[in-house]
Amino acid sequence: MDGSQEELQRRVAELEARVAWLMARAEAPPAPLPRVHPAPQPSPTQVSPPKARVPRFSPVVLIAAIGAVIFLLGALFFLHLAIQRGWIGAELRLVMGLLVGCTLGGAAGLMILRRSPQLGSCLLLAGLGTLVFTLRWGAFNLHLVPTWLGFGGSVLAALYAGGLASRTRFSPPLWIGLLVGFLAPLLFSQGGHHEVGLAIYLVALMAVALAVPYLARIGARWATVRWLAVLGTWLLLALACSGVPRAEAGVLLGLLILHLLLAGFWIWLPGQGEARPGSPTLLWFLVNLAFSSLAWGLWLRMGLSGELFCGPVLGVAALNLALVRPVRVRLGGHGGDLGLLVLAAGHLAVAVPIVLAWRWVGLFWGGFALALSLAVEACTRHEGWAEERRPLQILAGGMALLATLTWGVHTAQLARVSQLTPFANRAFAEAVLVGSAWGLLTRRRGFLGVSGVILAELIGNIALALELSRAIRTAGGSALAASIGMTLVWAASGALQWLLGLSGEGATRRVFAVSGYVWLGIAGLKLILVDMAEVGAILRALVFLGVGVIFLAAALTGNRLRAGRKDGV
């Protein structure tokens, strides 16, 4: 009995201990829950916006474009046939043409906005073309529409096409609007002198077309639109300037200045924050060249002094200098600085010979070509000017070619002038400048580099030979001696370049080797066929000995160079 009582007490004590442990655990504060960190969300800057879908060209678009052109021709034939046969009245024909054009234009707009921009653009061409040709028929054949309405309709068509292009970020509709706008002056021309009216119309067309990409903040990469707008405008302006009467030349010159400013807006597209304009320097150079050329013609037509034209030229130079800072802000760097500075220097180079005399223009153009070539070299070493290299290369090559032609003309004019001092005359100075420019351009690859090698060789060797012959004539030598002197120059030049080819490396070695062989061959042929035709035996022997010594000396020196290269010396 006592044992069972002790067992009972032991179990009661265990239960009390367990209850006490449970009570203590229940009164303790709850353990904190583990913190769950939310999954990191990408920041707004890390999420790239969806790229705009760029429609690709397909055979369907080609068929649609051909169909649009055929439809437009069919509409023209129908209108012509309806007029001849008298099927419908004049007013009804005009209304039908306008309705068809507006319907096609509206349907084209819906297609462009509803993800069929390419097919819609083809339909837009048919619609706007129908409208313009209908207005043309109404103005000239039916005399129901005033001519100014045709020009106004063309401007509205460009605005409508540009609006579609801005909504879809697809540029071809604006191409079509500009093409229709440029076609209108040719269609609605009344003959006579309306050059000022044409320039005013082009101002309105360019302002309306420019407002589309500018206000929509797009179009900086629409290179085709920008080239079409600028080149089409200045081609029509060239036609206007060629036939303007003297009384209206001043007004047209003022409009030409306004077009220069509009072209600057089109080329640089200020305020477009999301993209940089492509190839602006080359297009701006062409506009500067067109403006200077057309303004010069208008200046002379106004009867003003040619020397005073340096004022407008200096004004364009100042404009290019003033553009450096805003263009730097626009491009976000120094990519446009060099091109604008070169253009400013080029206009200064043109202004000086205008004031002095045009016979000095070769020196200034040669200096300008050399400056452009140095600018190309600077682009290769400066990262901020990398985008300027290609347009500057084209400008440098074009300017060097123009200076080369000028040098050729002046050299031919001065070839028989005996009073010139050898190596200290205008023709030789031009050769030094333009030859140096081509020499720098030989470092470029492709066609420009090959052209640089060929022209630098021609200019350098011809100029040196001519100056040596001039020196011989100045010293009292005969014409034959002067001719032989030219032969010796070319033989020495060929031998020297051949030796340089043996000691050079890579492409330089090949260039000098080929040039050496060419000039040695020219010297040998000239010696045999020209110089020795009418000379005595003694002089012939002496000349052949002299040229032979040059060839042998070159061969011996070349042999030593080859032996040294083999021995590793």
In the numeric block, the tokens 């353990």 are attached to 31
Cβ pair 430, 403 in contact under 8 A: yes
Q: Which residue has the higher pLDDT, 225 or 348?
A: 225
Task: Provide the residue count of the chain.
Answer: 569
Residue 219 pLDDT level (bands cut at 50, 70, 90): confident
Task: Reply yes or no on whether the pLDDT at 285 is more than 80.
Answer: yes
Q: For the chain, what percent of residues have pLDDT higher than 90?
A: 11
What integer pLDDT is reported at residue 69 of this predicted model? 65
Higher pLDDT among residues 396 and 143, named by residue? 396
Encoded tokens for 139: 């103005």
What pLDDT is attached to residue 407?
92
DSSP string over 505-534: -HHHHHHHHHHHHHHHHHHHHHIIIIITTT
Range 2-32 burial, b when 16+ CB lie within 10 A, else e? eeeeeeeeeeeeeeeeeeeeeeeeeeeeeee
Dist. CA 146–CA 430, nearest whole Å: 57
Candidate ranges 172-186, 459-473, 500-514; pick with highest mean pLDDT: 459-473
pLDDT given at position 45? 38
Residue with the bigger pLDDT between 197 and 535: it is 197
Q: What is the pLDDT of residue 371?
A: 83
- Per-residue pLDDT band for 394 (boundaries 50, 70, 90) equals confident
Q: What is the pTM of this model?
A: 0.61
Per-residue pLDDT at 92 exceeds 50: yes
Burial 556-568 (b: 16+ CB within 10 A, else e): ebbeebeeeeeee
Which of 269-278, 331-340, 467-476 comes out lowest in average pLDDT?
269-278
Q: Give the residue-averaged pLDDT of 337-350.
A: 79
Mean pLDDT score of the chain, rounded to an integer? Answer: 78
10 — pLDDT class (breaks 50, 70, 90): confident
Specify the pLDDT at position 21. 63
Confidence of residue 43 (pLDDT cuts 50, 70, 90): very low
